[in-house]
Structure 1
Amino acid sequence: MSITEPCDTVVDRPLDGMNSDEFDAVFTEVMPRLRRRLLTLTGNPHDADDLLQDTYVRLSRRARGRTLASQQHPYAYVSATALNLLRDSWQRPSRRESATDRLPEPGWDGGVERCEARCAALALLALLSPKEAAAVILVDLEGLSHDAAGERLGAHRGTVQRNRMRGLAKMRAALADTRPRDRA
């Protein structure tokens, strides 16, 4: 093969205009060589693997968006990206993870858990009659007394208590049906 002939390997294809599968093939081709280089630079296999993953994530986003510039030498481009990420981590040590003896604080889930709890509560309340649901909502969720709930509903205190107890019993039974049973 002469110098002017194009090489048939995947590595010499330009990255511009590739779909994500083609980009993955190119990255897989250069990955072992790049990992060895990053291992030499970082001195730690874990840091090298993290950097390799960060490089893949950054470039794959650009490949999927087809904003990755055309490259004659993909290894050089991927290597430069990895080195820029490494330099970034050196300049901003706050971005690096550090080992501690403390557990991390619980993270914010974006309100997903609260939304799931609300949906579950609404599903349970939908199983109840309107009177039972009203009694449960007013007494257990709103915090009203049985007397105050009875005034709002135009019912006697005992009726509110009875509807509330029936409603809670139905909700407990529904929850018991959905929980997995332990087989001993």
Structure 2
Amino acid sequence: MIVRITSKFGAVDAVHKTPHTGVDIAITEGTTLRALGEGVVDRIYDGSANIGKGLSIKLDDGTQLIYGHMNEVKARIGEHVHAGEIIGLSGNTGNSTGPHLHLGMKATDGSWLDPTHLADKVANVNWINGPITQIWGLLREKVSEITIDGFTDYLADFIVAFPVIAVVSGGVYALVRILSKGGATWAAIGTMIYGLLIVK
């Protein structure tokens, strides 16, 4: 499953006046979040800070994983969590411009590490929610953004991106056709729809 990073590690922009200490991952509000590794919950964020509701897990190697902007935290301080264990629900709390997960990573010396390599893992451990949930979230996000100017911008981006989306869909069709003729058509259609939804 492909994830969409909306703000990269170290980014400085209109929202982040100082270098971003993690990555922001577009994820539908209310998506079940799971621990990315073994560790102990060492902090709970109550929603009063910029990060909103969230928690920190101190992993067995001493690094910390920080999850922010959650709607609900389902773990307690001192609780030992296993990789894949449910820790809460994604949300839009704190200083947030839309539903997403802020994922941060801290070294044992307190310096911030780039957690980008964990972004796909977030999607993989949450695959139980299914791709339909993610696609529906992207569709809802696109519909909520529709304005005349926004539609014009989207149409211009769509015209530029369509050849790439068509080539990728064709490639998916050819690969899946090796295994299943019927599945190939649906795989290509799904790839096309997903591509159209993520056009900015």
Tell me which structure has the larger Cα radius of gyration. 1
Structure with the larger helix share: 1
**TM-score, normalisation: structure 2:** 0.21
Structure with the larger strand share: 2
